[in-house]
Amino acid sequence: MSANQGTRTGGDFDLASLEGADRNLKRTSLYLVLGGIVWLGAILVLVLIYRLPTVESSGLSTSVGQGVVLGGTALAFSIAFLLLLIPSFLAGARRIRVDYVGLSVIYESGKVTRYPWNNPKSQFALQDYSAHPTVVKQGTAWALYGVHLWNRRSTLSKEAFDAILSAARERGLISSEYQGSPSWYPHPPVIYKVQGGPGR
């Protein structure tokens, strides 16, 4: 089947043209996360400086030691959180395939993530930000991602999004539908949670 050939309930979709939009979105997200970590570090340093008592000849006081431990712990958690998010900043899918077996997410490296329709452990989410014209213009209004924070996110074309959503609905696999966080846009996205199941 050729690129982008498909119906509303199946098909093969080439997403290479969305690479630039996907990369820009993830670069911005990474900068925001890094900025948040730097901001937290700066606040901790200011707190330590403000509370830093006079150092006596016996060495650092207990309060300074506690502050160092607190600051070090917060920094360690921040770094661990960033490492946990690394997969979400990686390049998204280059191709999506929707068929009677399930959804196949194909990356540039050749790695394939499969979501069989009949497997209860098969879970993913779809994001629809089409209510905001700016996001549509940027090419990042539709997305696919796993249910965990560290899962990789893939920007979708409208055709690919519609095919996945229609296939999931046809099989009764939409486990929930709700409005997500509006972040810095005035209109929140619609989130669809999809979960496979036997006999569906």
Residues 124, 194: Cα–Cα separation, whole Å: 5
Residues 174, 34: Cα–Cα separation, whole Å: 34
| C-alpha distances out from residue 52 to 33, 67, 69, 75, 194, Å | 28, 9, 14, 19, 52
Structure tokens at 190: 């619609």
pLDDT beyond 80 at 109: yes
pLDDT beyond 60 at 58: no
pLDDT beyond 60 at 5: no
74-97 tens-digit pLDDT: 667 766 766 666 666 667 888 999
Residues 166, 118: Cα–Cα separation, whole Å: 16
Most confident segment among 42-56, 61-75, 97-111:
97-111
In this predicted structure, what is the pLDDT of residue 57? 43
Domain count for the chain, please give it.
1
Predicted confidence band of residue 66 (pLDDT cuts 50, 70, 90) = low
182-195 tens-digit pLDDT: 665 667 889 999 99
Contact 86, 151 (CB under 8 A): no
pLDDT beyond 60 at 20: yes
pLDDT beyond 50 at 124: yes
Supply the range of the domain harboring residue 37.
Answer: 1-200
Residues 71, 59: Cα–Cα separation, whole Å: 19
Mean pLDDT in residue range 8-31: 74
Question: Among residues 135, 102, 118, 124, which one has the least CA distance to residue 175?
Answer: 124
Residues 94, 110: Cα–Cα separation, whole Å: 9
Contact 60, 123 (CB under 8 A): no
pLDDT beyond 70 at 147: yes
**Mean predicted lDDT score pLDDT of the chain:** 76
